[in-house]
A = this chain, B = another copy of it.
Amino acid sequence: MRRTLKAAILGATGLVGIEYVRMLANHPYIKPAYLAGKGSVGKPYEEVTRWQTVGQVPKEVADIEVKPTDPKLMEQEGVDIIFSPLPAGAAGPVEEQFAKLGYPVISNSPDHRFDPDVPLLVPELNPHTISLIDEQRKRRDWKGFIVTTPLCTAQGALFPLAPIFMNFKMDGAFITTMQSVSGEGYPGVASLDVIDNIKVLGDAYDAKTIKEIFRVLSEVKRNVNEPKLEEVTLSATTHRIGTIVGHYEVLYVTFKEDTPAEKVKETLENFRGLPQELKLPTAPSKPIIVTDRDNRPTVYFDRWAGDVPGMSVVIGRVAQVNKRTVRLASLIHNTVRGAAGGGILAAELLVEKGYIEK
């Protein structure tokens, strides 16, 4: 039998933090034991937290006192694993500090995503990259380690693109996003940007989305051997609209040879990864749910889809545009699959593979 792992959640009162708390409150062997938050140290978790998700603050954590991000206190509390959905800039040094001290750190932050010895992990897509941890520890002389997960927007595209890239001669993908405001946390997006308006995220956001997609695609195991990834064209045009949670993305995917949309659809429907094989507790039985309804997926009705709510990406509108082009739309729960849920799944994989002791 497994012992229970005590998790510290950094930024536990934030929009991703609450999803960690919600999901871990029912986890078979990871418990939300240490809730770290900045402005609210010393106060009961429920009192200081905007619970911008389903259900209510779990009883077992409602009265827990929010604590500082303090290694000594964490040691006293016997923390085993650290989840870090801290904002860019703040995350980097904190995560390094904890890894050095021997903790496994699962980060949803961008600061270490492109360190060559740090996995940028989507457990279904590039699970073998966890072996980078060995190199990371050696190179940095750390007992602990850092594992990161990609930007939610990149994941919304990666879930369809990775299986396609693995199985078809994919030539390019032209992405247009309609992302929810929760992606920027709270207070985050100004209401004046999304009432009777669209917020155009611009060049920098477009570019980082693509960069992360490229890195993960470079790590998946392909069944086809062309074109080379360097020859693949990717482009993203990114926006926020006035939705609370759920990133919706339209993808036009082009191929080097005639490719039936029907086959693409089958590939997506049948896609399973290592987490499904290992039956990890937070792995949905289907990482991708394909819908045939021509008015779906939509943000409101599909973001919580799947047997592990919020962990399945819903894909629809799959259509043949021309012989070598397929269109589809993807919906991802950005703070669950795209952040907290992805982090927990990563932790489960690391436990299973022995990188975190049970």
Contacts and interface: CB of A to CB of B under 8 A. Distances in A.
Interface of A: 50-52, 54-56, 172, 174, 176, 178, 181-182, 186-203, 233, 235, 237, 239, 241-244, 248, 250, 252, 294-301, 304-305, 309, 316-317, 319, 321-322, 325, 327, 329
B244 A299 contact: no
Nearest to A190: B187
Copies in the complex: 4
A298 B198 contact: yes
B190 A239 contact: no
25 contacts: A52-B192, A52-B301, A56-B304, A56-B305, A178-B178, A186-B190, A186-B192, A187-B193, A190-B190, A191-B194, A191-B195, A192-B244, A195-B242, A195-B243, A195-B244, A196-B242, A196-B244, A196-B299, A198-B243, A199-B295, A203-B319, A237-B327, A241-B241, A242-B242, A252-B252
B200 A321 contact: no
Contacts of A192: 50, 52, 181-182, 186-189, 244
B250 A56 contact: no
Given A178-B241, A181-B192, A198-B241, 9 more contacts: A56-B304, A187-B193, A195-B195, A196-B299, A196-B300, A198-B243, A202-B295, A237-B250, A237-B327
Contacts of A188: 190-192
Contact of A200 (B201, B294, B319): B294
Contact of A327 (B55, B178, B235, B304): B235
A241 B244 contact: no
Nearest to A197: B300
A195 B241 CA distance: 10
A301 B47 CA distance: 12
A196 B195 contact: yes
Contacts of A182: 192
A197 to B, nearest CB: 4
Nearest to A203: B294
A160 to B, nearest CB: 14
A174 to B, nearest CB: 4
Contact of A322 (B51, B181, B201, B233): B233
Q: Which 10 A-B pairs have the closest CB atoms?
A: A187-B190, A176-B176, A174-B252, A197-B300, A202-B294, A235-B321, A176-B250, A191-B191, A233-B322, A181-B191
A278 B174 CA distance: 39
